[in-house]
Amino acid sequence: MTSNPVSYVPNDMHDLESIARVGSTRAHLIGKWTSLETIYDVAEASFELLQKVPTIGEKRSRMIKGSAQGVVNQFEAEKCTEFGHEAYIAVYVPRSTTNVASAKTVLDDAMLSVDEQFDAIDAAIAETGFDPVEDDVRIIHADDTFGSEILKRWYDQKVVQAFENGHEAPDRRAVETPWDEYHDNVNWKAPRDRNETIIQMASHVVIVGDGQYSQHVRDECERTSTRWTTKWTVRDDAAKVGLLEWKPKPDAEYHFR
């Protein structure tokens, strides 16, 4: 994308009025005459689509699209470099959905060996376009979940790989779940709060395998305009085990996937 200079970066990428030449009236018209809902949508829209909106002609469509691209570029740059890293990647490995005592996560449900689980995590993180060994990234994850155990082992492997290749070890931040803040009857709120905290810290969110709280994480990423991916789902076939590529439901609409 090319970018135009912008002086204001919104917290909410649904705020179309942050785009140059788009005030409250034009923002309303864009929503009425097109399917564009976010600044990301406008930045990627065709000039022809923008020109379907009353009062937006050829010249103004180029100004609006260029301004939207500038807002997006600055928004993503500031989010990624606030603390000096190229990317802040939040990684989720949801807990097991079975009653098998030895299964702790969805990767266990797929009956993967430890090395295969490492490979599954690598493939999921690769969707972000960043390499934890080659690039300057911070890995963010929950500190007290079943998934945190395999993520810590995976991270230790990355530290060794970075050392062997002459790179600095990737940074890591673990976030605790605020269980003490809630009574037993509402303790389900604690992991939701933890997830929202993690997402606020992230430039990219990676759900390695679909599972518990995954939809809430996706919804929160959409609400906060955070890029996300869900890589795997456990094969739903009694005759076979393993992972399949996750696919959204046909009627699901996502803007930041």
Which amino acid is located at 180 in the chain? D
Residue 101: predicted pLDDT: 80
Residue 150: predicted pLDDT: 95
Q: Can you list the residues of the chain whose pLDDT is less than 50?
A: 1-9
Residue 126: predicted pLDDT: 96
Q: What is the pLDDT of residues 228-257, one digit of tens each?
A: 999 999 987 766 789 999 999 998 889 888
User: DSSP string covering 123-152, please?
Assistant: HHHHTTT--TTTS-EEEEEESSSHHHHHHH
Q: How far apart are CA 149 and CA 110, in angstroms?
A: 17
Residue 4: predicted pLDDT: 35
Residue 3: predicted pLDDT: 35
Which amino acid is located at 23 in the chain? G
Residue 79: predicted pLDDT: 57
| Complete domains list, the chain, with CATH | 16-81 (1.10.150.20), 87-245 (3.40.50)
Q: What is the pLDDT of residues 163-184, one digit of tens each?
A: 999 988 888 988 888 888 777 8
Q: How far apart are CA 48 and CA 39, in angstroms?
A: 17
